[in-house]
């Protein structure tokens, strides 16, 4: 079955959407990749959902991606006397590493990495920034601070430190256990939380290898300072606007979103825009106009995929949210301004033969009004090189690797199909023709553009371009 859009939809699975029946309904409504949020649920819960998605995949005969999202480190205040403390702007408080009574001059903060990293003048954001304090002094086991924005500090509320790089691995012991479990299940993507530097991605690569694609969640200001290296080390990127919007000014988030999408397009890495895209639909059957515009903006920016979180995980209208997102994408991509805006943000060409061949294929397909571009790809790279051009012509990505076919469910414009590898030019032409016809991309007398790498089956060798007229 074909989608009538190029950008993909990722939906988070939760209590509202974990049954086999609801997963099928969500897929039919438009979901391309399902997200398993390991901040919630048990291993048994996720295993049941994973099995249901794989059963659905067999039923519909289409690859479906599965994204495992790891929780990452959680920095929180400890237990406070009476459960909470009301603080006002201008007041002074003290955070302590241990031995706390839980009052305003001994607020427990059991995270030595914060005491090692902060300096006077740094801000701590509590409860997603609802309370902001500024460090005025510190010792080895205490931090004195002035309240900048008052509010309530209550038990176990999260703490963000936007101006410091914390000496923390993005993978906690829980994450490592969850990761091994997910890899054994056979997830297609692993999303890393709390990435601050390129070394964090390298650490994860050492554990994951090539068993799944690594998706870096950009949610820390420190990551933005090394973003080019982080993007190159990752297989995909998520613009995690929720946490990122806590740690950088709200007004900076839209610009950062555009920068990240452009960086990923430049080197052909899928990029997801996430968080609060249709948040009103958690409790209402329709979104706000601003939310619809937010989804459309991500599509105009050239994002590969947009994501639903609480809307599909715990909301009252999960199918309606997916269907609405799909309609917004379709309408945006049909708009007369869409291609001119996409082309205006076209990244420069990388000066390599594979990129040049892929770019030529996209341009040629548009010039001759081809029915499709058929990309033979063993690793997904050939399809990604074509997709970075955001062509008007559909991309039919043919791969012999089941994992790659599922990972391509995140790539803009790619309709992935699983097929045995080809070994000769004649076989390539026959297979491309058959797939274009069987997947309803072309009819008799149509032209298709076929892209492959020779030797066949060797990853990364995009070097062959051919025009075929179906007879």
- The SS3 assignment for 84 reads strand
- Closest C-alpha among 338, 308, 332, 428 to residue 377: 428
Residue 8: cis peptide before it, omega within 30 degrees of 0: no
Helix then strand count (H, E) for the chain reads 17, 21
d(C-alpha 166, C-alpha 359), whole Å: 41
User: Which is the catalytic residue, given 33, 216, 275, 399?
Assistant: 275
Tell me whether residue 174 is one of the annotated catalytic residues: no
| 278 touches 324 (CB < 8 A) | yes
Q: Please report the DSSP string for 205-258 in residue order.
A: HHHHTTSSEEEEEE--HHHHTTHHHHHHH-SEEEEEHHHHHHHS-GGGHHHHHH
- Closest C-alpha among 304, 328, 323 to residue 312: 323
Host H or E run for residue 161: none
d(C-alpha 318, C-alpha 309), whole Å: 10
| 303 touches 410 (CB < 8 A) | no
Helix, strand, coil shares, percent, the chain, to 5: 40, 25, 35
The edge-to-edge listing of strands for the beta sheet with 107-108 is 107-108, 92-96, 142-149, 131-138, 123-126, 159-160
Tell me whether residue 217 is one of the annotated catalytic residues: yes
User: Which is the catalytic residue, given 3, 48, 74, 76?
Assistant: 76
User: Which is the catalytic residue, given 8, 35, 220, 258?
Assistant: 35
User: Which is the catalytic residue, given 5, 8, 132, 217?
Assistant: 217
Tell me whether residue 220 is one of the annotated catalytic residues: no
Tell me whether residue 275 is one of the annotated catalytic residues: yes
Give me the active site residues, please: 35, 76, 217, 275
């Amino acid at each position: 079955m074909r989608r009538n859009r190029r950008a993909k939809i990722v939906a988070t699975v939760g209590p509202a959407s974990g049954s086999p029946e609801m997963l099928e309904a969500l897929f039919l409504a438009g979901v391309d990749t399902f997200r398993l949020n390991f901040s919630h649920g048990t291993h048994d819960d996720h295993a049941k959902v994973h099995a249901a998605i794989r059963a659905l995949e067999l039923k519909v005969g289409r690859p479906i991606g599965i994204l495992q999202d790891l929780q990452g480190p959680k920095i929180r205040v400890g237990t406070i006397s009476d459960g909470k403390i009301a603080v006002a702007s201008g007041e002074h408080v003290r955070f302590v590493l241990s031995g706390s009574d839980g009052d305003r001059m001994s607020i427990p903060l059991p995270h030595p990495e914060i005491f090692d990293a902060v300096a006077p003048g740094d801000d701590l954001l509590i409860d997603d920034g609802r309370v902001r304090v500024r460090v005025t002094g510190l010792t080895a086991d205490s931090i004195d601070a002035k309240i900048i924005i008052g509010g309530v500090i209550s038990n176990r509320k999260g703490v963000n430190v936007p101006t410091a790089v914390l000496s923390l691995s993005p993978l906690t012991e829980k994450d490592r256990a969850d990761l091994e479990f997910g890899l054994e299940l056979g997830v297609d993507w692993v999303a890393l939380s709390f990435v601050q530097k390129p070394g964090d991605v390298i650490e994860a690569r050492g554990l994951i290898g090539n068993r799944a694609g690594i998706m870096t969640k950009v949610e820390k200001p420190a990551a933005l300072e090394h973003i080019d290296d982080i993007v190159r080390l990752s297989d995909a990127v998520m613009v995690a606007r929720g946490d990122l919007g806590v740690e950088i000014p709200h007004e900076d988030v839209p610009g950062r979103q555009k920068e990240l999408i452009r960086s990923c397009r430049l080197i052909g890495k899928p990029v997801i825009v996430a968080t609060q895209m249709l948040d009103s639909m958690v409790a209402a059957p329709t979104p706000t106009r601003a939310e619809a515009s937010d989804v459309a903006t991500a599509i105009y920016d050239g994002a590969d995929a947009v994501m639903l979180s609480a809307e599909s995980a715990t909301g009252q209208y999960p199918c309606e949210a997916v269907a609405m997102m799909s309609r917004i994408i379709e309408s945006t991509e049909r708009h007369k301004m869409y291609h001119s805006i996409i082309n205006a943000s076209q990244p420069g060409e990388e000066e390599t033969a594979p990129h040049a061949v892929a770019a030529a294929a996209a341009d040629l397909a548009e010039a001759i009004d081809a029915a499709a571009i058929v990309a033979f790809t063993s690793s997904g790279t050939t399809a990604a090189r074509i997709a970075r051009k955001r062509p008007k012509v559909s991309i039919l990505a043919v791969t012999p690797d089941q994992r790659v076919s599922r990972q391509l469910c995140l790539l803009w414009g790619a309709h992935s199909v699983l097929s045995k590898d080809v070994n000769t030019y004649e076989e390539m032409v026959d297979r491309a023709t058959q797939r274009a016809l069987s997947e309803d991309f072309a009819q008799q007398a149509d032209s298709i553009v076929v892209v492959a790498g020779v030797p066949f089956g060797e990853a990364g060798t995009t070097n062959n371009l051919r025009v075929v007229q179906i007879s």
